[in-house]
Amino acid sequence: MDRNGGTGLSRRMSSGRGGGRGGGRGPGRKGGSQAAGPDGNCVCPDCGYKVKHKTGQPCYEQKCPKCKTQMIRE
Distance CA 47, CA 68 (A): 10
Model pLDDT, residue 71: 97
26 occurs within a structural domain: no
The total of structural domains in the chain comes to 1
44 occurs within a structural domain: yes
70 occurs within a structural domain: yes
42 occurs within a structural domain: yes
Model pLDDT, residue 57: 93
Structural domain including 74 reads 37-74
CATH number at residue 47: 2.20.28
Question: Contact 69/49 with Cβ under 8 angstroms?
Answer: no
Q: What are the two backbone dihedrals, phi and then psi, of residue 60, each rounded to the nearest 5 degrees?
A: -70, -10
Bridge partners of 66?
none
7 occurs within a structural domain: no
1 occurs within a structural domain: no
Render pLDDT for 17-63 as a digit per residue (tens, 0 to 9): 666 666 666 665 655 555 666 789 999 999 999 999 999 999 999 99
